[in-house]
């Protein structure tokens, strides 16, 4: 399947826990971002290729404060999720409505920021999935600056490479290395099916031991 079909299937059939379990099974046990990165709408689910953006704190008013930021957003491709690495800044409101609007119109599926965002009312109305550590109504000018993009970044404690697949829901965000995507999705879909059978039989009165022995999931 192509990326659009892949990401739509992931969003409709999978969830972060089953993807995390699958990565654990394959020996990749540190692929979940820190627990303080959450969607501003708990019903949002996002999957897509990582479009990495690196921002750092600054303490001066630069002549071109938005240059790299504009370049980064204007280079977004369909199917990407913007990964905004701020090193968990509490000074900088990196992301807001206009960047969300521009990214959505470029074909992005969402944004994940390991820092603060603003304009949440408008982002919610736009229905563009954004994950962040919190909100703060400050502009980035004089507080933070994008210095590079399309490079490996450490976001929420996880090293993310451009093209990795990121998946987020109300429980958090997990990163799938690009070389493992097909294998992880195949295993995770099978595990999700077995979990569905387990859930149904538990509701029908089976014991946990009975369904675990039958399906091997917990």
Please indicate if the annotation marks 26 as binding a ligand.
Answer: no
Please indicate if the annotation marks 116 as binding a ligand.
Answer: no
Please indicate if the annotation marks 154 as binding a ligand.
Answer: no
Please indicate if the annotation marks 97 as binding a ligand.
Answer: yes
Please indicate if the annotation marks 71 as binding a ligand.
Answer: no
Please indicate if the annotation marks 99 as binding a ligand.
Answer: yes
Per-residue H/E/C for the chain = CCHHHHHHHHHHHCCHHHHHHHHHHCCCCCCECCCCCEECCCCCCEEEEEEEEEEEECCCCCCCCCHHHHHHHHCCCCCEEEEEECCCCCCCEEECHHHHHHHHHHCCCEEEECCEECCHHHHHHHCCCEEECEECCCCCCCCEEEEEECCCEEECCEEECCCCEEEEECCEEEEECHHHHHHHHHHHHHHHHHHHHHHHHHHCCCCHHHHHHHHCCC
Binding positions for Mg(2+) = 119
Binding positions for substrate = 96-99, 118
Binding positions = 96-99, 118-119
């Amino acid at each position: 399947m192509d990326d659009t079909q892949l990401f739509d299937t992931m969003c409709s059939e999978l969830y972060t826990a089953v993807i995390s379990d699958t990565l654990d099974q394959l020996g990749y046990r540190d692929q979940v971002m820190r627990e303080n990165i959450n969607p501003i709408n708990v019903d949002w689910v996002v999957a897509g290729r990582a479009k990495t953006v690196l921002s750092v704190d600054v303490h001066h008013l630069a002549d071109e404060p938005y240059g790299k930021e504009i370049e980064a957003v204007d280079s977004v491709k369909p199917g990407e999720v913007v990964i905004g690495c701020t090193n968990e800044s509490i000074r900088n409101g990196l992301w807001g409505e206009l960047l969300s609007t521009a990214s959505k119109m470029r074909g992005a599926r969402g944004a994940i920021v390991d820092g603060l965002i603003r304009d949440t009312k408008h982002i919610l109305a736009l229905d563009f999935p954004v994950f962040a550590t919190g909100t703060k109504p400050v502009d980035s000018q004089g507080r933070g600056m994008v210095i590079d993009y399309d490079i490996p970044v450490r976001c929420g404690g996880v090293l993310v490479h451009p093209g990795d697949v990121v998946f987020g829901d109300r429980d958090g965000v997990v990163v799938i290395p690009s070389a493992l995507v097909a294998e992880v999705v195949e295993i995770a879909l099978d595990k999700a099916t077995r979990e569905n059978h387990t859930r149904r039989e538990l509701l029908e009165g089976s014991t946990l031991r009975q369904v675990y022995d039958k399906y091997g999931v917990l």
